Amino acid sequence: MTRTQGTNGTGWVLGAATVAMGLAAGVFYIFACAIMPALARSDDRVFVEVMRDINDVIQNPVFFLSFMGALILTGIAAWRSRGTPYRRWVWAASVTYALAFLVTIAFNIPLNDTLADTADVGAARDRFEDAWVGWNVVRAALSTVGVGCLVRALVLYGGFRRGGAG
């Protein structure tokens, strides 16, 4: 058993990264499949009030644990995977989630901030809804691909641990 393969907790980190990224991807997915389509049926006042409320309550330690944890744990798993047959899958997951994270920081959060600061709910919704929904779909797709890459890495990790090539 090699150092990378052995007792340094690589499997646990890889598993924790997969769970954290799965939770984050699930949040983006549920927004794309249910929350935003449901809010699209609402009038401007309800839409803006609910999104403002969501943007307030989502900023909590439980969400940040998965949102930030996915980035950090996948980065650690990528670093620990050097020289292994699953390395490319972990790095692919790391890159796709980093892109989803950047989309959130560069697009979704600034849109949330603009929504919070605009008094005219009709104008706020017009500037927010289509752009936010589009960027959310991008981050949902990226993070879902990342989860798939981590799952593949876990499968290969298991084969590698048993002495197979995966």
Residue 29 pLDDT: 98
Q: Cα torsion for 70, 24, 60, 130, to the nearest 10°?
A: 130
What Å distances lie between residue 66 and 17, 27, 74, 100, CA to CA? Answer: 9, 10, 11, 13
Cα 149 → chain centroid: 13
Burial 79-105 (b: 16+ CB within 10 A, else e): ebbeebebbebbbbbbbbbbbbbebbe
* Percent of the chain predicted with pLDDT > 70: 92
Burial 156-165 (b: 16+ CB within 10 A, else e): bbeebeeeee
Which residue blocks in the chain are alpha helix, DSSP H? 10-30, 36-40, 44-57, 61-80, 87-103, 109-117, 121-161
DSSP H/E element including 60:
none
Cα 141 → chain centroid: 9
Residue 1 pLDDT: 41
Distance, in Å, from the CA atom of 1 to the CA atom of 68, rounded to the nearest integer, reads: 31
Distance, in Å, from the CA atom of 121 to the CA atom of 164, rounded to the nearest integer, reads: 59
pTM of the model: 0.91
Instruction: Quick: pLDDT tens for 30-67.
Output: 999 999 999 999 999 999 999 999 999 999 999 999 99
Instruction: Quick: pLDDT tens for 106-140.
Output: 999 999 999 999 999 999 999 999 999 999 999 99
pLDDT at 3 over 80: no
